[in-house]
Amino acid sequence: MGEKFGRHIAIYGKGGIGKSTTTSNISAALAEAGYKVIQIGCDPKSDSTNTLRGNAYLPTVLDSMRSGKKVHLADISAKGYGGVLCIESGGPVPGVGCAGRGINAAVSLLQELKLFAEYKPDYVLYDVLGDVVCGGFAVPIRDGITDRAYVVSSSDFMAVYAANNLFKAISKYAPAGGARLGGIIGNGLSAGYSKMLLDDFTNRTGTKTVEYIPRSLVVSQSELYGKTVIEANPHDKHADIYRRLARYIAQNDDLTIPAPLSVSELRDWAKIWGDRIFDYETGIVAESANI
């Protein structure tokens, strides 16, 4: 890929888990701290950078491909909050074509346009949609495009399941130069046992939880304003959580190749937690008071 400009970080996680919200707040916090940041939404919904841009319209990379005209960076990017350069890969309308190939094509096109060489970012964040259902969605963690990935997860089983799947993809590609795992970003945690469940999962898979973001109305409100928490509620404690997370991600070099659980291990593990959760809720285990 030639010379590397900036740190490239991929953010994955189950659909609707808070990837775009979290990524945008990290970008905003990094920009606030004075860094040059690019955020690339790798999702046909093309809503990754909405809160950085006040929900303004932005043509996607693949829109330009569809039109067949020569593409200029200026047409497919917009400066958002704090100067974050916002790009959306876009994709086909639901139910036709191949979104996976779309991501591949969009990333290639950005490289052809020499985006990174021209813009010289400090950080590039890729917000990649949902489950890694096929090869296309693993593109950002392959071929040396990013060197690190984080997974957003709640303590819901399906979110952990999706995280485990991503671990599988990472452990497959990392040995051949693909991205390594920075850790799990806990998001939308509200139940008392959430932290413990996530920690237990990261322990078993040889990684760690790098931040715990509680569920909060501030997040919902900021989104309704078309803004990140950093911009809309800079003094809220949630903004500080995102800043702390951004700092961590910016500096952390402790990357691992995770050891995903097998399907049956994951099922057994879930069952144990099923029993424990009930105990927590009925107050038998005192530990929950600490959360």
Partner 1 sequence: MTAEIGKTRYGCNLQGALSTLEAVEAVVPIIHGTAGLGIQSFAANKSGNGIVGSINGYSVPSTNMYEKQIVFGGGSRLREQIKNTVRVIEGQLYVVLSGVESEMISDDVVAMTQEITDQGYAAAYYKAPGFRGHARTGYEEVVAVLLDQIAGKAPKQERETKSVNIFGIIPQQDLYWQGNLREIQRIMGSLGVKTNRLFGDGEDWQSWQSVPAAALNVVVSKWGVKAAENLRSTYGTPYVFIENPGLGPDTDNFVEIVGEQLGISKNVVDNFLYSEKKKFDYVIRQFAEYYYSYDFRRKISVIGEESKVIRYGEFLKKYLGMQIKTAVITDYEGDSQEQQPVKSLEKIISDIVYSDDTERIEEKLGPDNEIIFGSELEAGAAARLNAELFVIGNPQNRELAVSGVDIGYAGAIALIEKISRIGRGI
Supply the residues annotated as catalytic. Answer: 14, 19, 45, 131
Contact criterion met (CB below 8 Å) for 150 and 183: yes
Rg (CA), the chain: 19
Q: Which is nearer to ligand ATP, 18 or 260 (CB)?
A: 18
Q: Taking CB within 5 to 8 Å according to partner kind, which of Mg ion, ligand ATP, partner 1, none is near residue 13?
A: ligand ATP
Taking CB under 6 A as the criterion, the residue among 1, 15, 98, 281 binding ligand ATP is 15
Cα angle vertex 17, ends 234, 232, to 5°? 15
Residue nearest to Mg ion (CB): 20
Q: How far is the CB of 43 from partner 1 (least distance, A)?
A: 14
Work out what residue 101 binds among ligand ATP, Mg ion, partner 1, none; the CB cut-off runs from 5 to 8 Å by kind. Answer: partner 1
Contacting residues toward partner 1, per CB under 8 A: 62, 65-66, 68, 91-93, 96-99, 101-102, 105
Q: Are 46 and 63 in contact (CB under 8 A)?
A: no
Does position 194 bind ligand ATP by CB under 6 A? Answer: no
Per the CB < 8 A criterion, the answer to whether 7 and 253 are in contact is: no
DSSP 146: -
Q: Name the nearest CA neighbour of 278 among 191, 154, 164.
A: 191
43 binds ligand ATP (CB under 6 A): yes
- How long is the chain? 291
Chain position carrying tokens 């691992």: 256
Q: Which of residues 88-127 bind ligand ATP (CB under 6 A)?
A: none
Report the distance separating Cα 271 and Cα 208, nearest Å.
Answer: 21
- Print the binding letters for residues 17-36 with ligand ATP: x by CB under 6 A, - otherwise: xxxxx---------------
Residue 86 interacts with ligand ATP (CB under 6 A)?
no
Determine if 21 is a binding residue for Mg ion (CB under 5 A): no
Tokens representing residue 291 in the block: 């959360």
3-state SS, residue 140: helix
197 versus 246: smaller Cβ distance to Mg ion:
246
Q: Which residues bind Mg ion (CB under 5 A)?
A: 19-20
